[in-house]
């Protein structure tokens, strides 16, 4: 329990508005609930949320200590009372979640943390009791892979330190295969194949460039693709990443002459306008655990495959044919 004595500068404010400032991590719905349950008291008694504070009032706040911390990316999960997750698979070690297009995996430079995928995952585990941050000395549930803000699809989260170590190692060794669906402009020729090149990232522009030859600072970029379906001037490709580079699929397909539908950075604005799309048609839709070395505590996942159920752009453009 914490006590706050109201001074002259804080007088005249509504009880609920003052507490929302004094306890910035406390969600609004939980604040109102605590007032109703009299876990927030004024001068030892329950009070209405609209009560106007006066100098000398003493607030008794029966609220967990963690809600009094300063807001940050690390504690953004505390502000979420109803996690919004599309769970593909879950066990005691891992969580596979289908991220929505438009959602950030982690907070951006502007510090928008409460709506991120990792915040919702941590809130889900915290509220379910699977993760008790006050009892953990170091570990925090973490993402093992990321996808672009406007790309949808499967993201892997580790629920404990051993799982995080193993998954990071398996990703490094390329023992987890990630397959993407991409809707592109044009009929791809040949209909299946392999794209290889060198990718250079311009960090200032957050944009990458593909070159046929190695240049200073570039990295090898390799992907395999096959045409799944065609519909008019569009093709649906399944792409398998051999290397996992920033914006790799978007940049390599555009470089090959087949930009993604809706891609504003690497695509063709004129073509995108014809379809009214402003977000790239790209989804990490299938994940296969293909361990070639011992999987340790996660060996039971070896050979297992997980898929996204519904993909908007696939249903919109390719399911009618």
Same domain for 137 and 202?
Answer: no
In the chain, the number of structural domains is: 3
Same domain for 263 and 181?
Answer: yes
Query: Rounded to whole angstroms, how far apart are CA atoms 138 and 64?
Result: 20
- DSSP bridge partners of 14: 52
The answer to whether the beta carbons of residues 114 and 76 sit under 8 Å apart is yes
Query: Which of residues 172, 188, 221 is at a domain's end?
Result: 172
Query: Which of residues 41, 68, 95 is at a domain's end?
Result: 68
Same domain for 208 and 284?
Answer: yes
Same domain for 144 and 212?
Answer: no
Same domain for 185 and 261?
Answer: yes
Nearest residue to 48 (alpha-carbon basis) of 58, 57, 35? 35
Q: Which residues of the chain have pLDDT under 70?
A: 108-112, 137, 320-321
pLDDT value for 5 = 94
DSSP secondary structure code for residue 86 in this structure: -
Same domain for 242 and 186?
Answer: yes
Query: Rounded to whole angstroms, how far apart are CA atoms 287 and 285?
Result: 7
Q: Concatenated DSSP letters for 11-59?
A: TT-BHHHHHHHHSTTS-HHHHHHHHHTTSEEETTEE--TTPBP-TT-EE
List, for residues 290-317, the tens digit of each pLDDT value: 999 999 999 999 999 999 988 999 999 9
pLDDT value for 92 = 96
pTM above 0.85, yes or no: no
Same domain for 118 and 218?
Answer: no
Domain of residue 128 covers: 76-172
Residue 80's domain is classified under what CATH number? 3.30.2350.10
Please tell me the chain's helix, strand, coil percentages from 3-state DSSP, rounded to the nearest 5: 25, 30, 45
Same domain for 111 and 161?
Answer: yes
pLDDT value for 73 = 79
The answer to whether the beta carbons of residues 155 and 143 sit under 8 Å apart is yes
pLDDT value for 302 = 97
């Amino acid at each position: 329990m914490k006590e706050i004595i109201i001074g002259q500068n804080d007088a005249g404010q509504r009880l609920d508005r003052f507490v929302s400032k004094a306890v910035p991590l406390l969600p609004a719905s939980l604040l109102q609930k605590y007032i109703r349950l009299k876990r927030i008291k004024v001068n030892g008694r329950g009070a209405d949320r609209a009560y106007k504070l006066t100098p000398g009032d003493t607030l008794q706040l029966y609220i967990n200590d963690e809600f009094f911390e300063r807001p940050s990316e690390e504690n953004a999960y505390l502000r979420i009372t109803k996690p919004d997750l599309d769970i593909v698979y879950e066990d005691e070690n891992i969580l596979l979640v289908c991220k929505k297009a438009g959602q950030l995996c982690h907070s951006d430079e502007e510090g928008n943390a409460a709506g991120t995928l990792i915040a919702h995952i941590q809130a889900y585990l915290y509220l379910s009791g699977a993760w008790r941050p006050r009892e953990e000395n170091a570990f925090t549930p973490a993402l093992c892979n990321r996808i672009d803000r406007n790309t949808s699809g499967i993201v892997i989260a580790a629920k404990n330190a051993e799982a995080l170590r193993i998954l990071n190692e398996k990703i490094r060794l390329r023992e987890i295969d990630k397959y993407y669906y991409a809707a592109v402009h044009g009929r791809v020729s040949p209909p299946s194949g392999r794209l290889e090149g060198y990718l250079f990232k311009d960090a200032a522009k957050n944009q990458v460039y593909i070159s046929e030859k190695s240049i200073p600072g570039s990295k090898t970029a390799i992907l395999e693709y096959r045409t799944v379906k065609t519909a008019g001037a569009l093709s649906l490709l399944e792409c398998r990443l051999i290397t996992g580079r920033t914006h790799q699929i978007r940049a390599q397909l555009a470089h090959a002459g087949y930009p993604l539908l809706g891609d504003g950075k690497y695509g063709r604005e004129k073509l995108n306008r014809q379809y009214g799309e402003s977000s790239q048609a790209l989804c990490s839709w299938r994940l296969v655990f293909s361990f070639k070395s011992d999987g340790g505590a996660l060996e039971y996942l070896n050979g297992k495959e997980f898929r996204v159920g519904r993909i908007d752009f696939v249903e919109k453009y390719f399911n009618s044919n």
